[in-house]
Amino acid sequence: MSRGIQVGAQVVGEIALDLERVRGEGGPASPCLVLPVTVSMHSRDASQALAVTNLVCTLYSGEIIPAYQVGQPVTFDLMGGLPVRSTRFAPNPHCMEISFPLSTSLIHRLEDRRHRTEDKAFFGHLTVSGTVAWLVASGGEAPGNRSMKPIPGYAFDSNLGICFILAPFQETRVDTIVVRVSASTWIDHVLPGLGLDHVRLVEISLPRSGGALPEAIGPFFDGARRDYDAGRYRECVQKCRDVRYAVEKHVGATAQRPVGEAIQDRVGWPLAEAERRFLNQCWRALADFTSASHHQHAFFAADANACLLLSAVLLEFLQNLVVAPPAGDGSGVLP
């Protein structure tokens, strides 16, 4: 996806967004959405050399209105070395990465909007403004290598390097770039980098052999997450059912001996009545929810999200019960 850089009515260069290389990075501590772009100027004679001196990039998750702006605009100062300038014989591409810092609440708003689209792609707009300047004259170049008119009366030694006289144009324009990141790219390359390669809001430790969680739930749970991200909500709930079955088989739970009782054999101390009751009742709710995946006509994002979160909470609770004894005297009363 590319757009021309215009000075007045003339296209003098272009900016191209590589949608296949969009990614997330920074993890949950400092999540950022990274958009790789290439900026290039068309070839021109040295007497008409042009350079982009700055760019300001703003991302919107939908229409171009303040309510949909993603974080703050990102500004690039391109004066140092003038990396985006024209050359005589060919375009001079310069690769850049626009990194938009995100917050947890903003990530969830982006995900909510993405799940409302039919193909679960991320849709937005990237606006770009900036300044193009004419390289009027240069100083500090060796006489044999001079590519443009010398600065009159230039009085400095060449050891200071090259300098330019710039004449900024009053009107520089770049048309809005449509940003449409496919569901597969978003799921595989954006969400993991944002720290969302596990279930939203809750990070669980998956799993250690010999504990409360069988090794098999890793692929099941990751598959459920991917189905949710891709909008396959029924399949997400079905994989949560597979997670539940795997745990029940692993701890030897049955209808007559629910998980709250079956897990006691793997815990080195008596479970409090409140712990057993919490586990059994929540597990029953998960069983009712996931069993409905056989016959419920339709599942929505809220259904799959609730199922993932409930599964994650119960798995984390089970793992913690087995890994470490509770603080205090075991009475259920906090010290």
What pLDDT digit, counting tens, does each position of 18-58 carry? 999 999 999 888 999 999 999 999 998 888 889 999 999 99
User: Widest CA span of the chain, in angstroms?
Assistant: 97
Q: What is the mean pLDDT of residues 97-122?
A: 89
Kindly tell me the sign of the dihedral angle through the C-alpha atoms of 64, 66, 67, 69: positive
* Res. 5 pLDDT band, cuts 50 70 90: very high
Provide the phi-psi class of 187: left if phi over 0, else alpha when psi is between -120 and 50, else beta: alpha
Query: Do the Cβ atoms of 31 and 24 come closer than 8 Å?
Result: yes
The CB density around residue 106, as the number of other CB atoms within 10 Å, is 17
Q: What is the mean pLDDT of residues 149-156?
A: 70
pLDDT at 73 over 60: yes
pLDDT tens track for 205-246: 554 545 667 877 878 888 888 888 888 888 999 999 998 998
Among residues 323, 312, 320, the alpha carbon closest in space to that of 243 is found at: 312
pLDDT at 297 over 90: no
The reported pLDDT for the residue numbered 139 is 67
The reported pTM is 0.64
End-to-end Cα distance, the chain: 61
Give, in degrees to the nearest 5, the angle at Cα 245 between 244 and 249.
120
pLDDT at 316 over 50: yes
Query: Do the Cβ atoms of 2 and 17 come closer than 8 Å?
Result: yes
Buried b (16+ CB within 10 A) or exposed e, 136-153: ebbbbbeeeeeebeebee
Q: In the chain, what percentage of residues exceed pLDDT 70? A: 83
Check residues 96 and 231 and name the one with the higher pLDDT: 96
The reported pLDDT for the residue numbered 301 is 84
Counting every residue, how long is the chain? 335
Spatial separation of the C-alpha atoms in residues 101 and 30, rounded to whole Å: 7
Q: What is the mean pLDDT of residues 100-126?
A: 89
